[in-house]
Amino acid sequence: MAITVKEVLETAVGLIGRSDIAVEEPAESGELLLLVRCFNLVESEIALDYFPLQRTDTFTPKRSMVMFSQFTEAPYKILSVTDEAGREIAYKTTTDYLRAEGEGDITVTYLYAPRPKGIGDHSDYALGVSVRMFALGVAAEFSLAHGQYAEASAFDSRFRDAIRAAQLVRHKLSLRTRRWA
């Protein structure tokens, strides 16, 4: 189940001790808008620096080209391009499109940055990133924006610890089984 922006913001409001901020749609108050901006910053930071978001789309290229506007998400890194048989094929990218060699449909696997969210939206993360991790990052950004540097530093330290813990869990899950001789 995907994390909602609202539950992250409610947790962050509890962490920073601001019960005066009501996390309700629409986000009209300045403080609530700031919290939503902080959420978007934290989600982008997690996606670009720690836990990349990956997607695979299939296209039928026109004149060997696929416009980036055709992708489901806006890619920032192409991981692979394969043909219908699953073979890697050569490709080149420009600022507007991807040009792939070969005929027929192609499958593109890529990394993308999350789009900005509102209070009623869901995060692009469903597994591996917890509500608490997001909330700690939001609390750090919110405190920094209010000039509360000691609190921001404390929340940021806890946020980084949560990221390291999540990375350890991911690495433990990816260990191959070993055989006894």
Domain ranges of the chain: 5-51+125-173, 53-112
Report the pLDDT averaged over residues 71-81. 95
Please state, in angstroms and rounded to a whole number, the distance separating the CA atoms of residues 125 and 116: 13
Report the pLDDT averaged over residues 81-104. 93
93-148 tens-digit pLDDT: 999 999 998 789 999 999 999 999 999 999 999 877 899 999 999 999 999 999 99
pLDDT of 178 reads: 58
The reply to whether omega before 26 is within 30° of 0 (cis) is: yes
Percent of the chain with pLDDT over 90: 78
Report the pLDDT averaged over residues 156-169. 91
At residue 172, does pLDDT exceed 60?
no
Report the pLDDT averaged over residues 158-176. 75
* Dihedral pair phi/psi, residue 20, rounded to 5°: -80, -10
pLDDT-derived band at 173 (thresholds 50, 70, 90) equals very low
pLDDT of 90 reads: 95
Query: Exposed, middle or buried by CB within 10 Å (0-12, 13-18, 19+), for 95?
Result: exposed
Q: What pTM was computed for the model?
A: 0.84
pLDDT of 181 reads: 52
> Tell me, what DSSP letter sits at residue 119?
T
At residue 170, does pLDDT exceed 60?
no
